[in-house]
Each structure stands twice: as C-alpha cells, then as structure tokens.
Amino acid sequence: MIARIASDEVLNKCKPIQGWMYDDELLWLYEQARKASLIVEVGVWQGRSTTAMCLGTTGIVYAVDHWQGSPEELANAHSIMQTGTGRSEVMTKAMQNLMEMIDQGKCVPLIMSSERAADFLRPILADRGGADMIFLDGAHDTDSFRSDLLKWKELISPIGLLCGHDRHWPGVSEVLAEVLPDAQKGPGSIWFYDGGIQ
C-alpha cells in the first residue's frame, strides 16, 4: 500500500479534469483503489475518476473507453461526441490528463468497447483470479448497463470490489435491482458490491 495522499491533493489533481464526479465520490474511489492492485474502469471521458484511482493504487488501472459517447447522452452531456473532431478532442484531452500515469505504467488506456475490453482482459484476469476492483461508468441505458454488469461481474475477484456510478439513472437502478439487488449505496451516486458475487 502506498503512502496516503492528503484529500486536498487528490482533489487538486482530479477536479481540474472535466467530468461529473463529486469530491466525496473521488475520495471514495481513491480510498478503494488503495486496496487494489489491478483495477478496471469502464467509461473514462477525460480521466477525472481514472486519476483518483491511479493516485490510490500501487498497481494498474485499465482505462476502457471507445470515446464515442454514451447513446443516451449524445443529445446532452456528450453532444461533443456527435462529430469526429469532437470525439478526437475528448480522447486527446483524456490522454493528456493521464499521460504522467501512463508513462509511470499506472494507467493502461484500452480504446475499445466495454464488451471487447472484457474479452481482451479475460485471460489476464483469469490468471490472477479476477480484478481487485471494477468501476462501471459507461452507458447507462438499461440494455447497455445490463450487458456491462453481466460481463464484468464474471471478471471480478471473489473478494474484489464491483462498483459504479449514477445509481439514480433509471437504467442503472433497474438493472442493479434485477442483477445485483444487494448492491450498497456509496457516497453521492456510487453503488458497490464488495466480494462474494461468483
């Protein structure tokens, strides 16, 4: 476990990065990442939450995003992703924000869909008994989130932490009630399930 970073320092590094993660959520991710050496994040945007987890872990964060935007958000928060120029701009900004951690080997961006990333990481995770922590913050519509949750919950360690964001979104809350009814509420809009899901 690495030396604890002061909360102010964590927030000072994360908050300048554009995103929708609040202070208490960022600090929670940082604290959970301190217990994990292999983390997968699905849904990176510009790297705000990724940075919090990279600061916490002694290991690696696999940062998964196709940088196409979430279908349910293309008319709103992800409207920039409607053009190739906009998608390139957001992905470039993410890589710039994460460059120091990429150079340190703490962050490995996987520019691909959640489904493809799960298939790609499956043999790596199988060799070590699963990921220590998986954070799901990709598409939030019912079908996409169900697909993500079902696929990724197979790849978490039996004692790992499966968690995600935006539990208040109808698609997310519906699928959690159906697939993982014992998921708990974390700070803000975080949901989590800690171990024993196999």
Q: Residue 66 sits in which domain range?
A: 7-194
Q: How far is CA 31 from the centre of its chain?
A: 14
CA distance linking residue 43 with residue 132, whole number of Å: 17
Which CATH number do you get for residue 163? Answer: 3.40.50.150
Kindly list the distances between the CA atom of residue 9 and the CA atoms of 26, 73, 95, 120, 161, in Å, as whole numbers in the listed order: 12, 31, 21, 34, 24
Domain count, the chain: 1
Residue 134 has pLDDT above 50, yes or no: yes
Say if 1 falls within a structural domain. no
Domain assignment of residue 114, yes or no: yes
Confirm whether 180 is domain-assigned: yes
- 124 within domain boundaries: yes
- The answer to the question of residue 2 being in a domain is no
In a domain, 113, yes or no: yes
pLDDT tens figures, 149-194: 999 999 999 999 999 999 999 999 999 999 999 999 999 999 999 8
Q: What amino acid occupies position 197?
A: I
pLDDT in tens, 26-83: 999 999 999 999 999 999 999 999 999 999 999 999 999 987 766 655 456 556 655 6
Q: Is the pTM of this model over 0.85?
A: yes
Contact by Cβ (8 Å): 108, 102: yes
With beta carbons less than 8 A apart as the criterion, state whether 98 and 51 touch. Answer: yes
User: pLDDT band at residue 198, thresholds of 50, 70 and 90?
Assistant: very low
175 lies in some domain: yes
